[in-house]
Amino acid sequence: MSVALSLKEAVHEITTTNPMFELTTAMIRGVEYRVFKNIPPHTRALLQASREAQGNGTAEYLVFGEERWTYDEFVNDVSRMAHVLQSEFGVREGVPVAIAMRNLPEFLVLVMAISSLGAVVVFLNAWWTSEELDYALQDSKAHLVFADGDRAARLQPLQETLGLTLVGVRDAEETCNLRYTDLRLAAPEHPLPDVEIDTDDDFAIMYSSGTTGHPKGVVQTHRGAMNAVFTWLMQAAMAPLMSPPEPDTPPAPRPSVLIVTPLFHVTATHPMFLLSLPAGAKLALMGKWDAETAARIVEREGITRFLGVPTQSADLLQASEKIGTSLETLDYIGSGGAKRPAAQVGQLAERFKRADIATGWGMTETNAVGIGMAGPEYVARPGSAGRLHPPVQDLRFLDEAGRDVPLGEVGEITIKSPCNMRCYLNKPEATAEVLQDGWLRTGDLGVIDADGYVTIVDRKKNIIIRGGENIACLDVEGALHRHPSIAEACAFSVPHARLGETVGAAVQLRPGAKITEADLREFLGEHIARFKIPELFWFDHAPLPRAATDKIDRRSIRTRCLETLTQGAATA
């Protein structure tokens, strides 16, 4: 039996003997980074280089309901749409093109078609209202948008004022003048256009909630995304070196991935979709989350890899028990987007004995790469986020003044990596605040032990993470302040058994004002996405408590409101 290597030994072995993971250095925007030397420089090269891993193009690659594509068929669709973008719409390097839809195969095709031309993919949150979509489209300057039915309906009121060219996908083809199917079928079957793309060119804009009222456009580069993908691929290559299999262990089956989180989030696009290409994995795509449907897809398609927010892992566990299946093909059940409750780790490990239960921490700003662990080490440390994924990242813990804190003390998680974003779109001050000499100040507070395991303890930024969705408190408050009966509002997180957190709000009403929760929720639905609308309200005519700086004392307001829950006196 082989001798198990330590993490450090495995990194050295892989990076010095496998050319795919050989390291070098590169100057990126004036800062020197460690980078992979021989990986594809951009997404088009990744698509082309992955054909061998995908059965030389013949392997079944994408499954959506009863629809199926081989890898060559998927690439052919990408090539067709790239030609459409180039010839019909004049899309070229640097042009932003937006996607607004639920999880559909066309979403994946468009991501690769847009980025293969050197254009920039603008990911629009499928749950946004017309008002929120309006902001992101003006911010990104995207005028060409591909949308499905619900999104097209929300975009049509903006079409004339923003000068949008709207292409309908699936159920939007009946209401849009331009139809995806017509464009695809009319396009020639030629290879992908060979346009020049620099590895440090922009790949995508993904919107992430911050502490300001509007979301921030995170600008990701091709180099950042590619280095993230090969960081995860290297973890898989190191695993048998650190935990050698028994001599009679049969070969592992072909990886098969079920995507259940929204494709407008980095958790689905990067460690699931983009990673599937060089990993030789098959993709099964769910348009809408349903745990029993997911369990049956796992069984039917032989799914090996599941990654969702913690509530989806819990839902899958319950569904497997309900329909009486052990989902034996699963070898990885990961969580991202929010911290999994510690008690759930053991429950999942007990139910799915052949699967490594895993956790990961990353950000849109890091192309989703960051910290993680799986298997026995996670079961032994269910409250930890794991260790930093080698080999191109560096990690520090800083105090408010930017100084390193001693080992074991709480500090702000700060990461240097070629995977870090280029900037926040149109926000130089916000960019300068978090990106300093290549180091990204994440806003998350944590502590690291002598073995390199990180525990995240709090967030500096006022973000509520509801089932993996980031919600800015000021975004919710901005919508509440629009109501004429509300003088002041304070949003905060409320613990939730299933979702981890949900939204609560303390509201000061104007003198003599009266409002029902139902009316307020209906009003908010016109301004913010449904998942952002508070589930709990505390109404009062008295002013909200303030801190010494005269700012609203969010912490004391939250504490006071949550105390009423335990006392059974919440207005909810």
pLDDT bracket for residue 551 (50, 70, 90): confident
pTM assigned to the model: 0.89
Distance of alpha carbon 530 from alpha carbon 254, whole angstroms = 38
Distance of alpha carbon 137 from alpha carbon 96, whole angstroms = 10
pLDDT at residue number 431: 97
Q: Do the domain assignments include residue 344?
A: no
* Buried residues in 330-342 as b, exposed as e (16+ CB within 10 A): bbbbbbbbbbbbe
Per-residue pLDDT at 211 exceeds 60: no
Q: For 271-286, what is the mean pLDDT?
A: 98
pLDDT at residue number 236: 95
Radius of gyration of the chain (CA): 24
pLDDT at residue number 311: 85
pLDDT at residue number 548: 56
Distance of alpha carbon 137 from alpha carbon 140, whole angstroms = 5
The residue whose two tokens read 């256009």 is: 193
Q: For 253-263, what is the mean pLDDT?
A: 96
Beta pairing partners, 445: 412, 458
Per-residue pLDDT at 525 exceeds 80: yes
Residue of 333, 346, 339 whose CA lies nearest to 374:
333
Q: For 151-177, what is the mean pLDDT?
A: 97
pLDDT bracket for residue 571 (50, 70, 90): very low
Residue pair 284/256 in contact (Cβ under 8 Å)? The answer is yes
Each residue's pLDDT tens digit, 470-487: 888 878 988 998 899 998
Beta pairing partners, 358: 374
* Buried residues in 139-161 as b, exposed as e (16+ CB within 10 A): bbebbbbbbbbebbebbbebeee
Q: Do the domain assignments include residue 547?
A: yes
Q: Do the domain assignments include residue 56?
A: no
Residue 367 backbone dihedrals phi, psi, to 5 degrees: 60, 30
Q: For 182-211, what is the mean pLDDT?
A: 91
Higher pLDDT, 147 or 445: 147
- The CATH number for 496's domain is 3.30.300.30
Q: Do the domain assignments include residue 11?
A: no
Higher pLDDT, 234 or 456: 234
Each residue's pLDDT tens digit, 341-382: 788 899 999 999 999 999 999 999 999 999 999 999 999 999
Q: Do the domain assignments include residue 511?
A: yes
Residues with Cβ within 8 Å of residue 354, at least 6 apart in sequence: 328, 330, 331
Residue of 306, 285, 303 whose CA lies nearest to 74:
285
pLDDT at residue number 550: 61
pLDDT at residue number 457: 82
Backbone dihedral region for residue 426 (phi beyond 0: left; psi -120 to 50: alpha; all else: beta): left
Residue pair 166/156 in contact (Cβ under 8 Å)? The answer is yes
Tokens representing 320 are 């497997």
Distance of alpha carbon 368 from alpha carbon 265, whole angstroms = 9
pLDDT bracket for residue 1 (50, 70, 90): low
pLDDT at residue number 294: 97
User: What range does the domain containing 475 cover?
Assistant: 463-566
How far is the CA of 501 from the CAs of 361, 362, 365, 465, 492, in angstroms?
17, 18, 22, 6, 9
Q: Do the domain assignments include residue 385?
A: no
Mean pLDDT in the chain? 93
pLDDT bracket for residue 154 (50, 70, 90): very high
Per-residue pLDDT at 572 exceeds 50: no
pLDDT bracket for residue 329 (50, 70, 90): very high
Lowest model confidence (mean pLDDT) among 43-47, 267-271, 339-343: 339-343
* Buried residues in 211-221 as b, exposed as e (16+ CB within 10 A): bebbbbbbbbb
Q: For 532-537, what is the mean pLDDT?
A: 96
Distance of alpha carbon 501 from alpha carbon 60, whole angstroms = 38
Return the percentage of the chain with pLDDT > 70, whole number.
Answer: 97
Q: Do the domain assignments include residue 190?
A: no
pLDDT bracket for residue 489 (50, 70, 90): very high
Each residue's pLDDT tens digit, 76-133: 999 999 999 999 999 999 999 999 999 999 999 999 999 999 999 999 999 999 999 9
Domain count, the chain: 1
Tokens representing 339 are 């911290």
Q: Do the domain assignments include residue 478?
A: yes
Residue pair 269/40 in contact (Cβ under 8 Å)? The answer is no
pLDDT bracket for residue 463 (50, 70, 90): confident
